[in-house]
Chain A
Amino acid sequence: MKKINNYEYNSTLFLLARPLFLGFGIYQIINQIGSFFWISIILGIFLGLIINECSKFLSRFKALKIVISIILLVYVFYTLTSAISTLYLNKTPKFIILAALLLVVIYSRNKNKDTIFKIANIFFIINITLFFIMTFSLLSQINYQNFELITKFSVLKIINSSVYFALLSTLPYLTLPNFKENYNYKAYLFSSIYTLILFTLIVGILGIPVASIYKYPEYIIFKKISILNIFENVQNFLFISWIFECFILLGITSNNLSKKTLLILLFTIFILYTIFITKFNILFVGIY
């Protein structure tokens, strides 16, 4: 493995703290705690910093790394396939979308880890650019009344949501190589603040009642973007930042598995998803 520089590693740290929020992550936090989301997220960030310190120690266990990599691979394949199918390719069967993603992962596994880190560096620059475009064009759409406290204050729910936030933002770090040596808390903090701003935009623009009905509120707010009344309907383009983050996570996790294990896993995922993916929500989550 070639030397990975700090920029590349920090870019990966930044990108990995967010992909697990796609789909259920944001939906769950807003549904559970509503108007008090910001307390949960701030608590979650502190909790995440503590977890990351523990992860420095845990990342030494190779078996744990492999188990978490498998879990995250399965989860990200599921959420990414569902997101692409719902938002982009409505008429395409999900197994075709999944097949395309599997091919990307097989291809990235054939490359070294340093290739993934270099790509992460490029994706980081693109994501930050898209983030600034998004934030500045959406700021004017915020309605301060949407921040009024309309949900009941519950300490238990706040703690629950903050633990959920902390786990979703830190779990991918366990799959990183040399985490103990290269971990930089500033990258995690920066990424978490990015997520907090995103939550603020979602709640400020949509309001709690509306934000809590959408599967992908992070996509829905992009529909509101209008730059100088010329660039509209750019939601599909801006949402690509989420896909980039998922790709990096898939690339990192797949590199933790041997080629043979990965092929068997991907084949199993493909077979199981082909049979169950349309029924997964109803069967396991109880949501249509």
Chain B
Amino acid sequence: MKKIIILTIILLLTGCYNYKEVSDLAFISSFSIDYTNNNEFNIILEIKENNKDNLFSSYLLEGYGKTIEAAIQNASLSFNKNLYFINLDILLISSNAANLKLNNILDYVTRDNNFALDFNIAICDDSKGAIENILKKEEIFGRYINTLFKNTDNNVINIKLNDLLNSYLNHYYDIILPIINLKDNTIIIDEAVIFKNNEIIEHLNEKEISIYNILSNNLMDYYIHLELDNNIVFKTTHYNTKTNFKNNTLYIIPTLTGSYIEFENLNLNNSKELKRITEKINAKFNNEVEAFIDNLIKIESDPLGLKRYIKQKSLHKIKYRISTNIVLENKSLIFKSIGGK
């Protein structure tokens, strides 16, 4: 009798019943959500091949539905595998879906334990074109985009689900998301959008993204191009921004540490000239940061979370002072500049 009970328990409670092989699972790498003018969700799923010989190939499923779940069901109608989002690399949301249905989307991907927590989120209005563009190169789109986000040479906004949820749920922050563009058959992430009251309000260009990354201490490389009589490029190796609120004024103090990597007709051994140039670079950078903060105050959107310092719900009439600081360090291999005076 004991043996029969043990055998029954083993067969019923150890996964022998109703088990699934790994090959029965469809691992999703990219998930794109659009909200159409017909008030329907249009979703695209990029599924990684479960095939040893085809490690870098994937295929797409597309579906429509009144809800996200209905659209996924519609996409997988003739599909014989279980969809598995635990290895999701990127979630692409169209501008329309972000403006109208961001709360639905966030709730859906957060509620289900089948989803990962560490995937990137970006705005993309031509996700099908973008994914197919990468598929043609026999690469997996999600994995490819992941490498773009990880590369600190690209000044991108790197937002993962946890960051987005934090901005969405924290009333001191407004959302910021990168945009994936398809330009001349190439994928580039050179723009971002910021939200106000959960609607897209402004686009940021590459320079503004760099300033955002510096002010929020996101580790990315930053280049300052100074167009004087001699083209000078200052490249940061690291930076740190301190922010504090004293005497009713917000002090923002970014410190950039780096070196000159490219210039014309500049003698780096002339300390006076070096100081003059550095002061100019500092002033230029200071102006750029000021313009950036002025714009945020004008549109009353706060992706930097400055409201948490002033403990107010609006940036309106905020007093602030920017004090940038450039620290030079020499990491070059040569003492003198080639061709320099």
Is B13's CB under 8 angstroms from A207's CB? no
Of the listed stretches B72-80, B109-117, B185-193, B279-287, name the one at the interface; the rest are far from the partner chain. Answer: B109-117
- Interface assignment of A87: CB less than 8 Å from any CB of chain B: yes
Report the separation of the CA atoms of residues A232 and B118 in the bound assembly, to the nearest whole angstrom: 11
Kindly identify which residue among A100, A148, A223 contacts B116, using a CB–CB cutoff of 8 Å. Answer: A223
Report the separation of the CA atoms of residues A150 and B173 in the bound assembly, to the nearest whole angstrom: 12
Give the shortest distance, in Å, between A39 (CB) and chain B (any CB): 20
Kindly identify which residue among A205, A209, A224 contacts B165, using a CB–CB cutoff of 8 Å. Answer: A209
Is A100's CB under 8 angstroms from B118's CB? no
- Interface assignment of B86: CB less than 8 Å from any CB of chain A: yes
A148, A206, A223 pick with most chain B CB within 10 angstroms: A223
- Interface assignment of B308: CB less than 8 Å from any CB of chain A: yes
Report the separation of the CA atoms of residues A249 and B117 in the bound assembly, to the nearest whole angstrom: 31
In the bound complex, residues from chain A placing their C-beta under 8 Å from that of B118 are 223-224, 226
Is A100's CB under 8 angstroms from B117's CB? no
Q: Contacts A87-B113, A103-B9, A150-B308 given; indicate if A213 touches B169 (C-beta within 8 A).
A: yes
Kindly identify which residue among B9, B116, B162, B172 contacts A206, using a CB–CB cutoff of 8 Å. Answer: B162
In the bound complex, residues from chain B placing their C-beta under 8 Å from that of A103 are 9
Report the separation of the CA atoms of residues A220 and B110 in the bound assembly, to the nearest whole angstrom: 10
Report the separation of the CA atoms of residues A242 and B213 in the bound assembly, to the nearest whole angstrom: 39
Q: Contacts A100-B13, A224-B118, A233-B87 given; indicate if A207 touches B170 (C-beta within 8 A).
A: yes
- Interface assignment of A178: CB less than 8 Å from any CB of chain B: no
Q: Which residue of B lies closest to A216 (CB)?
A: B113
Give the shortest distance, in Å, between A226 (CB) and chain B (any CB): 8
Give the shortest distance, in Å, between B159 (CB) and chain A (any CB): 13
Q: How many interface residues does A have (CB within 8 Å)?
A: 20
Report the separation of the CA atoms of residues A148 and B117 in the bound assembly, to the nearest whole angstrom: 22
Give the shortest distance, in Å, between A139 (CB) and chain B (any CB): 16
| Contact count band on B | 10 to 19
- Interface assignment of B166: CB less than 8 Å from any CB of chain A: yes
Give the shortest distance, in Å, between A153 (CB) and chain B (any CB): 13
In the bound complex, residues from chain A placing their C-beta under 8 Å from that of B110 are 213
In the bound complex, residues from chain B placing their C-beta under 8 Å from that of A54 are none
In the bound complex, residues from chain B placing their C-beta under 8 Å from that of A90 are 113-114
Q: Restricting to A184-243, which residues have a CB under 8 Å from any CB of B?
A: 205-207, 209-210, 213, 220, 223-224, 226, 233
Q: Which residue of A lies closest to B107 (CB)?
A: A213
Q: Which residue of A lies closest to B9 (CB)?
A: A103
Cβ contacts A105-143/B at 8 Å (1 or 0 each): 000000000000000000000000000000000000000
Cβ contacts B72-115/A at 8 Å (1 or 0 each): 00000000000000110000000000000000000000100110
In the bound complex, residues from chain A placing their C-beta under 8 Å from that of B86 are 233
A87, A90, A150 pick with most chain B CB within 10 angstroms: A150
Report the separation of the CA atoms of residues A236 and B309 in the bound assembly, to the nearest whole angstrom: 38
Is B117's CB under 8 angstroms from A223's CB? yes
Is A209's CB under 8 angstroms from B113's CB? no
Is A224's CB under 8 angstroms from B170's CB? no
In the bound complex, residues from chain A placing their C-beta under 8 Å from that of B172 are 150
- Interface assignment of A281: CB less than 8 Å from any CB of chain B: no
Report the separation of the CA atoms of residues A90 and B87 in the bound assembly, to the nearest whole angstrom: 18
29 pairs, A vs B, C-beta closer than 8 Å:
A86-B113, A87-B113, A103-B9, A146-B166, A148-B308, A150-B170, A150-B172, A150-B308, A206-B162, A207-B170, A209-B165, A209-B166, A209-B169, A209-B170, A210-B165, A210-B166, A210-B169, A213-B110, A213-B169, A220-B117, A223-B116, A223-B117, A223-B118, A224-B117, A224-B162, A226-B118, A233-B86, A233-B87, A233-B116
The 4 A-B pairs of least Cβ separation, nearest first, read A209-B169, A223-B117, A207-B166, A209-B170
A residues within 8 Å of B by Cβ? 86-87, 90, 100, 103, 145-146, 148, 150, 205-207, 209-210, 213, 220, 223-224, 226, 233
B residues within 8 Å of A by Cβ? 9, 13, 86-87, 110, 113-114, 116-118, 162, 165-166, 169-170, 172, 305, 308
Given contacts A150-B172, A209-B165, A226-B118, 10 further A-B contacts (CB under 8 A): A87-B113, A100-B13, A150-B308, A206-B162, A206-B166, A207-B162, A207-B166, A210-B169, A233-B86, A233-B87
